[in-house]
Chains A and B, each alone.
Chain A
Amino acid sequence: MNHDISITEEMPGENTPAITDIIVEGEKIQISGDLIGSLASSFHYTNENTLVDDIAIHMEKHPEIFILGVTDDNGKCMGIVTKRDFFDKLGTRFGRDLYKKHKISSMMTNARDFKKNKNIFSVATKIENELSASSNLYYILKNDNGSFYGIFSSKDMLVFLSSITQKEMEMAEKIQFNIIKNSMLVEDEKFSAVGYSKMAQGIGGDYYNMFKYDSNRCLFVLCDVSGKGISAAIVTGIIGGMFDTLNIKDGMKKFLKKMNRYIYNTFKMDKYITSAILSLNGNEDKLKIIDLGHCMAEGNLYLVREGRFHKIKNQNFNIPIGLEPEIDVNSDVLKLKGGDRIILCSDGLHDQFNENGEGYDVEKLEAIVMANQKNDLLELKNIIVDDIKNFRNGQPAFDDMTFIIIDYKG
């Protein structure tokens, strides 16, 4: 049976395709980004009865054609032929002579098909196991009436999913930095404070904030959610919302007990939060320290006083938020002196490593802080950030890193 086969080549700005022969380039339709049809990367097809030799001549002239749909007389797609397989077969000894009078249907392979208006993510779920295959797999897209629309590949799907993940991550990062500022500067008559935060993976599980709630009174909060990345970032959003609506005058301990109950009941110990909360009272020269498994007298809280660098060895520890259904909240009080500089950091500041696997330990922090005692807080913040970056010497950040520095004027 002879067939009249036409080729259409889409002309820019024209809906009516030009007609040639042998291979058809189907019409590309503007399809929404959520539908699988938007992933089509090839629209070429030919009739099942077309001769291999005719296809070979045509494909040699059109190197841009890398795959073909093979359709029956009703336009229904029966299979596919990749350029690579096609010429591999023709390239075998006597291959061209052997195949040239064969119909293209003799060389086609089967491929799964999907309606072009299916949701991309439902298709992604269906081909999930095939996406990890080392070779690129092809899928047929069909119109509502079952006719051939186009072809997409597993690579097309992976590129799409990766771009979606990238966009989502960028959006999540943007949202997180509406909650947690990259840096902050807060000043009152009795103190100045600077804060800085940088997440290792763009988004992460550190949270900090500074809340002035009365004349010369300020609350400094630093929390470190267990784990990293998106799951930890979701918890920081919750923490941010809770602290933002906190009425400090209602009592910090009551608030922390309530927060603990919520985190424990919601995350069932999958997520917990170590935290240090410093409440500065400039009217009484006092700094109240609530340590919820964050410092434990071991580090992360330091004092520079009269030219000496000290670890603050607090005595009253509390367990992290979210590990037990109920917690007690105990605190220490540090009597402040004018000129005191207090540094509170997440453990991520010390968990920054250079190419030799050495960490940015307390001694390194001490050295840079003591060498810059005369610098103001904005300068010191930048100096510490640069020092850690130089120390890492091109190694990626291992952990989220946050710090708060308070200068007490007295």
Chain B
Amino acid sequence: MNNFNMNLTIKPTWDIVKDVHDKTIRVMNDQGASADVKESAMMVATELIENAVKYGISQPDGSSIEFNLEISDNSIQMSTANGVKEEEHAKIVIDHITRINESDNPKELYTQRLLELLECDRPGATQLGLYRIAYEGQFNLRYAYEGKVLKINAEKVF
């Protein structure tokens, strides 16, 4: 694959989930990605952007959700940056990412999270997508929270 960068600034509406999904497919096709890589990249892009739309608001400086996809010959990196409605929400996301990063068994963690959600009457913000990214996609997750903007970064090195 060649080095490629895609940067989209988008309004947080549900339409854009499909738009980002479609663009990611096109870019992955364009870059000659294998079926496996393409599938996991699409899943990660969808999960990240859904998460940003569901829980995010436009960034405080007036811009919208920022989606970035970076492909090099040995890695894929995707990130979203969005303002968060409440400080508490950022904390929940950060806690989940910390939990994922501290575990050495993402499969077990994913199953555990599913069970937690089944047992919960009102699951609310499930954040299951983050667990899928780590377990199914085998991407590493990072976060940055600054100036009420939450950035989630998912990276896979081949």
Contact = CB atoms under 8 A, between A and B. Distances in A.
A and B: bona fide binding partners: yes
A212 B7 contact: yes
Interface residues of A, number: 18
B111 to A, nearest CB: 37
Contacts of A378: 26-27, 30
B4 A174 contact: no
A248 to B, nearest CB: 14
Interface string A209-224: 0101011000000000
B61 interface: yes
Interface string A161-190: 000000000000010011001111111110
A119 interface: no
Contact of B7 (A186, A189, A215): A186
Contacts of A184: 4-7
Contacts, number: 52
A185 B6 CA distance: 5
B3 A185 contact: no
A375 to B, nearest CB: 12
A187 B23 CA distance: 11
Nearest to A192: B8
B105 interface: no
B6, B64, B72, most chain A CB atoms within 10 A:
B6
A184 B8 CA distance: 11
Contacts of B26: 378
Contacts of B2: 177, 182-183
Contact of B3 (A182, A186, A214, A382): A182
A182 B8 contact: no
A187 B8 contact: yes
A174 B9 contact: no
Given A177-B2, A212-B9, A214-B63, 16 more contacts: A177-B3, A178-B3, A183-B30, A184-B5, A184-B6, A185-B5, A185-B6, A185-B7, A185-B8, A185-B23, A185-B27, A187-B7, A189-B9, A212-B7, A215-B61, A215-B62
Interface of A: 174, 177-178, 181-189, 210, 212, 214-215, 378, 382
Interface of B: 2-11, 23, 26-27, 30, 61-64, 72-73
5 contacts: A174-B73, A181-B5, A210-B7, A215-B62, A378-B30
- List the 8 closest pairs (A to B, CB-CB), nearest first: A182-B2, A185-B6, A177-B3, A188-B9, A184-B5, A187-B8, A215-B63, A181-B3
